[in-house]
Amino acid sequence: MGRLKLQSGIKAIEEEPEDCDCYSNKATLACMVNSEIGAVLAVMRRNVRWGGRYMSGDDQLEHSLIQSLKALRKQIFTWQHHWHTINPAAYLQPFLDVIRSDETGAPITGVALSSVYKILTLDVIDQNTVNVEDAMHLLVDAVTSCRFEVTDPASEEVVLMKILQVLLACMKSKASVMLSNQDVCTIVNTCFRIVHQAGSKGELLQRMARYTMHELVRCIFSHLPDVGNSESALVNGVNTTNRESCSLNNEYAFGSRQLENGNTTTEYDGQALSMNLTSNASVGTGAAGIDEDAIGMGKDTVPYDLRPMTEPYGVPCMVEIFHFLCSLLNVVEQVGMGPRSNTVAFDEDVPLFALGLINSAIELGGPSIRHHPRLLSLIQDELFRNLMQFGLSMSPLILSMVCGIVLNLYHHLRTELKLQLEAFFSCVILRLSQSRYGASYQQQEVAMEALVDFCRQKTFMVEVYANLDCDITCSNVFEDLANLLSKSAFPVNCPLSSMHILALDGLIAVIQGMAERVGNGSVGSDHTPVTLEDYTPFWMVKCDNYSDPSHWVPFVRRRKYIKRRLMIGADHFNRDPKKGLEFLQGTHLLPDKLDPQSVACFFRYTAGLDKNLVGDFLGNHDEFCVQVLHEFAGTFDFQDMNLDTALRLFLETFRLPGESQKIQRVLEAFSERYYEQSPHILANKDAALLLSYSLIMLNTDQHNVQVKKKMTEEDFIRNNRHINGGNDLPREFLSELYHAICKNEIRTTPEQGAGFPEMTPSRWIDLMHKSRKTAPFTVSDSRAYLDHDMFAIMSGPTIAAISVVFDHAEHDEVYQTCIDGFLAVAKISACHHLEDVLDDLVVSLCKFTTLLNPSSVEEPVLAFGDDTKARMATVTVFTIANRYGDYIRTGWRNILDCILRLHKLGLLPARVASDAADESELSADTGHGKPLTNSLSSAHMPSIGTPRRSSGLMGRFSQLLSLETEEPRSQPTEQQLAAHQRTLQTIQKCHIDSIFTESKFLLAESLLQLARALIWAAGRPQKVGSSPEDEDTAVFCLELLIAITLNNRDRIVLLWQGVYEHIANIVQSTVMPCALVEKAVFGLLRICQRLLPYKENLADELLRSLQLVLKLDARVADAYCEQITQEVSRLVKANAPHIRSQLGWRTVTSLLSHTARHPEASEAGFDALLFIMSDGAHLLPANYVLCMDASRQFAESRVGQAERSIRALDLMAGSVDCLARWASETKEAMVEEEATRMSQDIGEMWLRLVQGLRKVCLDQREEVRNHALLSLQKCLTGVDGMHLPHALWLQCFDLVIFTMLDDLLEIAQGHSQKDYRNMEGTLILAMKLLPKVFLQLLPDLSQLTTFCKLWLGVLSRMEKYIKVKVRGKKSEKLQELVPELLKNTLLVMKTRGVLVQRSALGGDSLWELTWLHVNNIAPSLQSEVFPDQSSEETSHSSEVGVVLGSDETSQVPSDQTTPLPEGAAGGG
């Protein structure tokens, strides 16, 4: 059976799938309700009154309360339907009756309330339940008008707590959406009354009541985002037509502002939120007498039409509740109005409570509030006005609550609260954050915390800047806040406090916000300075679209520019009004021809003007000034303003002049404007004028200490009789004015140095007026539109503040905060190209590295290891140098100072400089522009923990560790080792080498500055006595300089001048070999080697620089000659094709020539020359002559073997082929004119060649001398293809052949055998060369007029040679050879018809002279050559055959060689 029942039970549940509530089973619910009935009855029976009724003999056996409960008991088990379909009133009514009844005691009421609470939490009632609206209304009505007899305080508190519990459950239940606006107001009202009563009750009830009030407000306002324009749409059970009518109603009710002057029925007034106040007064003993605090429509609020109050709740009740909460803040005015019976501390408690509730409402209503004008206007005006007042409270609790609310309002509604937020910052935050305005330390701290919270909102500062600082009519709040933060972070003559750190946090939050925006685009958008081309009225500048950055950003920047110019104009104006206006005309802010309106607007909208001067100007009787005055008055908005308020505002803007006429003019203008806008009860503008005058007089009377007898109210009213167009003004109107002036003076003298203004009621009214007209609030997104301008304003104070805090700080977390700040500043400066700021930052940071301090510490390395701040600063400096080096300028000097200090301490990785260069060598092949491996490669940097001495990383510490030093040293302690380890880790993190290896990616300007800084750091090379340390520094800087030069070969033009001058300085000022000059010379050579292939346009420049090497002091040159030559040789071999110009070759060849006489260097030098000249590989017309000179120097050099001299001669001789090749190429390729010029050049080159060989022919060494002669012969005879001009040959005979013969002769006769061995052989060779060349050229030369002279020269040399005495006696070989050669020559001349006897005069002379000389040499020759005329032919043929037959090549024509006789050939 049991099991079956169980199953059927399960089935029963399964059959009702549509009921998903946990208590869906009807029987279960019935049982639960039944048990609640039982509980209530049980408590009632314990009471004698209820228990005794059964015995009495009344008609009615039982009390109606008990009857209804019992009746319900009967019914519940008979209901067959779902509980949804049963009217909740049926099962709630008996309980509600018990609650309402004033006969029940507290315990019974308490149990009944618990039962209702339980039923509510069963979720039986939701918005779909039948008749739910009525049931909920009944429930609220019953609970809020709960009555009971109070027996003891404790039970009363229990009932009150249960009332709170039930009311909260009502609001939280699913059916709460069916509550009407009126019900919700009643619930809140009741709850507040319990809060109020709880003041005299127990602590628990107080807490509970306040908690409930909070929860209610949260529940109600969390509903706001769901309330559309038609909030009834949420209700499921309402039919459509009803819903439509509701929505219309609501639109009428709170969709428009015009309602404020609507006239609604007054009969409803009493039934506002306090509908049940009278009947509810018995909710507890102290309930009466608190009506004024209840939620009700006071005289200020306009009631809603009745219908919205009975509709499902929405905006109407929220407006009422919010208004009520704001009115709780008006309590300030009532302080001290008499003692309160309860213990609520009114000075702090009520405002705090109200502020907490308001904050909850704003948090949950959030941005939806802006869609409901009535709610929004409450916040804009009443709430904010109260917040401003409480903002200056002495209580830190209230202040922090106010700041929290303002932060929420900023977050949700800032676009609607522009001027209110400005006022809050100006009048509250900026006043309270500084002690000089009398704020306590606690107030300062709270205000500063609030400000920092605002700064942490990413776009806060940008929006403040864009909307306030860039608005002519607003104050520079951003500037003031930024200055405040940086000043507050400065510890002046005091230790660092939490306040300083707090301000620093705010400052860094702003900076980091900017740094984050940097990556979001629009950084370099448009920082072109704003200029005004022509005049436009500055107060009318408008933006086309406040939501599109491409419109609002330029607009805002333009407005800021105008504002700045106006401030400068104000400054000029204060010194001299006329010049001030002229200045503004010059900047196009005022028109060239001044008009009244523009001047009036300048006075009205420019801050910082001297109010006395403005007053004088406006009061002047000059016609233009009067017009300006009227325009000035026209800028005010006095709509719906009291006369005294309007007057206060008007007179705040300038100082009222003292003269009565001026006062009259000013007040006339004011009255006209006031009457125009707010006539109210004034008959005409004269009435306004008289009343204004009267107010000024009353003001003086009441507030001037010299006036002893003060005017009474009656006097004032009497004085103003009949002024309103002949009638009197209403007495209460005048009375109100009288009291307003008495209470609050109209200040006619401006406050001097007041700093931030106080918010007076009249200023608040003005603010509300302005807020209708002010430019819309611009919302910024996360891009860096205005950061450049903002950062420029705050960067200086910010760096200073962070630096000072960093300097004073002692905790790691503060260090880290500062470092984050520094890095953010660096990032922003770099991205916005603010080089000066970045330099300042670098300078500041370098001071903290301690590396620049003169080292007084014994062990600087260990001191550095122990100094966290210094290490952090060092890493930061190098991080900035690596990340943002592009924008560092003068800062490089400081960075280099740090690097040099590390270098001196032996802490730099040994190869920082060489890496920088070598890596670029590696990457040269792999393509340009490829980023190098960052930081030190693992090979170069010793791994942390295992310091490798070989790397030279730790000059100092290795000494500390090594025990081989002269004096025994103790082992380093653990702390020292740890400190050193920290130092090494720090240096490794710095990646110092990357600065140089990555320099190829630096921007040009920065690179140039880095190079200049290196040159500057190296110092000027001293002549004598510089310390080894200085030299070491100079060498190190030079290494780095060369490294970056090599790394930037594509931009060498940029660096070259500076680098060259620096190296030149070193070279020219050094007289002894040293590391510096060595580095300079070889660095220069390396630069040339590496850059020649890439920079052909710079080749000359680079090679010319090598002339510095030639200027080296002899001792220095000698020391490095061999290595220099090897480098030059390498350079030539690698780059010969890239050296094109004569200038370049001149440098190279002169360097090589210099080595010819150097024992060690000559081999390498000759090797390079061989490379250039062998086979004419790299001979060019540009370098030909230079190479000849160099070869000659090697040929003449006695250093090395004679064999090398002979090779040098071979190079010279071989070069003739090059000349011949060029000559033939010239003929084919070039136009005539160029060909002529080129062949001339070739001729000259050839002449230089043979002249060079001539000099070597005089060498002391026999084999060299003789080889030179043979080479000369080759060069003189092997030139047929070159077509050298006759004149050149004549020159050649004079300068080369004859000179050589003469010189040799002289040597043979004048020097001892010891110096010149075997001169005879040389003379023979020389003699053979003469006729050979002569005969080869005979056909051409014989035609010349100077032939005779040339021929005589040949004869005279032969004559000398035959007579020569070698070692005192004549040479037999020459005695034989000369006649033989002469005979040969004469025969050829005869054959060619050159030597013939002619009758002509000229011919005779050649003939006669010839024989004159020949006879001196060999008298028999004439008969041999010309035996006689008859047998001429035969002798001619046979003799020629005889003489010439013995030659190797015996043909006479001029294009063939005319060889020497056989004997002569063997002479060499």
Question: 3-class DSSP state for residue 180?
Answer: strand
Residue 1343 to residue 1286: CA distance in whole angstroms? 10
Residue 460 to residue 777: CA distance in whole angstroms? 12
Q: Which pair of tokens denotes residue 155?
A: 């039970």
| Residue whose token pair is 């949804």 | 84
At position 215, the amino acid (one-letter code) is E
Residue 749 to residue 766: CA distance in whole angstroms? 19
DSSP lists the bridge partners of residue 149 as 105
Residue 330 to residue 328: CA distance in whole angstroms? 5
Residues 797, 803, 809, 813: is their CA dihedral positive or negative? positive
Q: Which residues contact 457 (CB under 8 A, 6 or more apart)?
A: 407, 410, 411
Question: 3-class DSSP state for residue 56?
Answer: coil
Distances (CA, A) of 315 to 182, 304, 322: 12, 11, 10
Q: What is the largest CA-CA distance in the chain?
A: 206
785 Cα distance to chain centroid: 12
Is there a contact between 493 and 500 (Cβ–Cβ < 8 Å)?
Answer: no
Q: What are phi and psi of 1030, to 5 degrees?
A: -65, -40
| Residue whose token pair is 């891009």 | 783
> Where does 1187-1327 show beta strands of DSSP type E?
none
Spot the catalytic one: 251, 260, 292, 659: 659
Is there a contact between 906 and 913 (Cβ–Cβ < 8 Å)?
Answer: no
Q: Which pair of tokens denotes residue 1191?
A: 């070869």
* Residue 54: Cβ within 10 Å count: 11
User: Which residue, 486, 554, 499, is CA-closest to 525?
Assistant: 554
145 Cα distance to chain centroid: 67
478 Cα distance to chain centroid: 19
Residue 581 to residue 592: CA distance in whole angstroms? 10
Q: What are phi and psi of 149, to 5 degrees?
A: -90, 130
Is there a contact between 617 and 624 (Cβ–Cβ < 8 Å)?
Answer: no
* Residue 442: Cβ within 10 Å count: 15
Q: DSSP labels for 1314-1379?
A: TTSTTHHHHHHHHHHHHHHHHHHHHHHHTTSTTHHHHHHHHHHHHHHHHH-EETTEE-HHHHHHHH
Q: Which residues contact 487 (CB under 8 A, 6 or more apart)?
A: 503, 797, 801
* Residue 1288: Cβ within 10 Å count: 15
User: Which residue, 216, 209, 203, 206, is CA-closest to 173?
Assistant: 216
Distances (CA, A) of 303 to 254, 363, 772: 11, 26, 25
User: Which residue, 682, 998, 717, 1013, is CA-closest to 846?
Assistant: 1013
Is there a contact between 1272 and 1188 (Cβ–Cβ < 8 Å)?
Answer: no
DSSP lists the bridge partners of residue 1365 as 1370
Is there a contact between 1272 and 1214 (Cβ–Cβ < 8 Å)?
Answer: no
Residue 1054 to residue 1008: CA distance in whole angstroms? 7
Q: Which residues contact 1282 (CB under 8 A, 6 or more apart)?
A: 1219, 1220, 1223, 1239, 1242, 1243, 1246
Task: Tell me if residue 659 is catalytic.
Answer: yes
**What amino acid positions are annotated as catalytic residues?**
659
